[in-house]
Amino acid sequence: MAQSAGKLSTLPHGIYQCSLPGDAAGAAWVDLPGKQFIIDNASSYHTADGAGTYLFTGNRVTFTRGPMNGMQFERTGSQTLRWLDEKGELSRVRCTRRAGSI
């Protein structure tokens, strides 16, 4: 997948929880323990393991420093990111901004 071109931007502030699709017999989505991050100021984020920065261009989010360094996501909705695998393809993992404040 090619790098998204476009204007530089920032993500909405808040807590993003990552999850995998569930199944018909249970929950629609299953949260991944320890896989959440907080967007709190400009192009910075933090996790339980530390803080870092990200670059948001077009629909592509690339974490450039900190514990998530090198991870890439595609913005698929106003509150939702999809994790890109090592080939740059959409994975099943999505990270959704939770309601409420940080």
Minimum mean pLDDT among 3-7, 66-70, 90-94: which range?
3-7
Q: Quick check: is 102 in a domain?
A: no
pTM as predicted: 0.86
In angstroms, the Cα distances linking 102 to 3, 40, 89, 99 are 30, 8, 30, 9
Structural domain includes residue 3: no
How large is the average pLDDT for residues 77-88?
Answer: 95
Mean pLDDT of 83-101: 91
Give the number of domains in the chain: 1
Domain assignment present for residue 43? The answer is: yes
The rounded distance, in Å, linking the Cα atoms of 89 and 92 is 10
Instruction: Please give the angle made by the CA atoms of 23, 31 and 14, to the nearest 5 degrees.
Output: 135
Read off the pLDDT of residues 2-61 as tens digits, 9 standing for 90 and up.
Answer: 455 678 899 999 999 999 999 888 889 999 999 999 999 889 999 999 999 999 999 999
| Cβ atoms 84, 74 nearer than 8 A | yes
CATH number of 61's domain: 2.40.128
Residue 26, in any domain of the structure: yes
pLDDT value for 1? 42
Determine the structural domain holding residue 51 and report its residue range. 8-97
